Amino acid sequence: MTITTDMDFSVHGAYDDRIVIGVAVNNPAGRHMTRDSQNDVAHNEGQEVPHPFLPGVLKSGEHHILVKGGCTIISDLNAAVTAEQVQGYLDHFESNDEGMRDANGAAPSYNATDHQLTISYDVEFGQPNWRVLPMLWVPKTDVGSINFTGESNSLLCFTRVDGEPSAWTIRYRDIQAGQSADLAKDGNICYMIFSEPVTVGSQTLDAFVAYKITSSSISISATNDTKVVRLHRD
Amino acid sequence: MTSTQKKVLLRVDPEKHAVFVQQGLVVHGFILNPWPDTDAEIEAQAFAQVPLVDDDVSRLPTPDNIRREATEL
């Protein structure tokens, strides 16, 4: 099992022994990451978590989100994944919030000859409500890759390292430039991460830092288009 | 092209015989059985489990260097 990448990643911090943040910031088009094993889909403690009713579909690691630029995700599906299962996944993808459609959507395509699924999208900021991460569920595949396609691309990674990754609920939402938003705490232990600096009153919150939310909510103002990731657990 | 990502030993759980190693984007969790006797052996065995994609296995930054207390809001 191997992960190969030329993305310029750096670890920003391990917060409270719970959340580790790593970010590839402003990487050019063409940078990529590939894996050749299902086990490289990390953060489920090395376990495959099957979808409750879609065969051949597994839960993703729920650990990253593209916050700037665009990308193409290519999955070489396992031979055991049937064309019918792929179609079931695509139907599910298009019909509910567990897909990765952003404001203008992302169109997946399936190449039956190569048994390959390709999804491309550009980051947008049109989601005003908390929602699941893009690609929460993915077809079972060993070989996969993500390739940056935007002029400048940033990928935010947030991993749970308290040994109970499944105890966490992860959501994200957008705040457009010049807008303000009240962000509610959820759960007993709650963190938020911002993709751009934002302000709370006179306080500036840095991008790519985990802030522990102890108030019932915080009111933030965004200067730039911003994605907010919220992680919480009991 | 190959990775230049460092490996970081994030967490060691002797009770569960579990270790967590971060390499670039990914955190890998492993069970070491039998549990090694020394910290050096724990680290060596944990790193040996992580896929190598180049010769750079230096452990930078160390966990202490990246450990933070989150600011409360």
Window A:32-51, CB contacts with B under 8 Å: 33, 40, 42-43, 45-46
Please tell me what DSSP assigns to residue B15: T
Can you tell me the ipTM of this complex? Answer: 0.83
CB A229 within 8 A of CB A168: no
- pLDDT value at residue A38: 58
What is the widest separation between alpha-carbon atoms in chain A?
57
pLDDT class of B5 with cuts at 50, 70, 90: low
* CA A119 to chain CA centroid, nearest Å: 14
pLDDT class of A3 with cuts at 50, 70, 90: low
- Residue B66, classed as helix, strand or coil, is helix
Mean pLDDT of the region A9-38: 84
**pTM score, whole prediction:** 0.78
A90-123 residue pLDDT tens: 888 777 665 555 444 577 888 888 888 888 888 9
Question: At residue A61, does pLDDT exceed 70?
Answer: yes
Partners of residue B25 in chain A, C-beta under 8 Å: 3, 5, 7, 9, 22, 24, 33, 63-64, 155, 157
Q: Name which of A36-45, A63-72, A113-122, B64-73 the model is least confident about.
A: A36-45
Q: Which residue has the higher pLDDT, A134 or A152?
A: A152
- pLDDT value at residue A29: 95
Window A:148-207, CB contacts with B under 8 Å: 155, 157, 159, 161-163, 191-192, 200, 205
Q: Which residue has the higher pLDDT, A53 or A135?
A: A53
Distance from CA of B36 to the nearest CA of A (A): 19
Closest CA to A139 of A87, A66, A64: A87
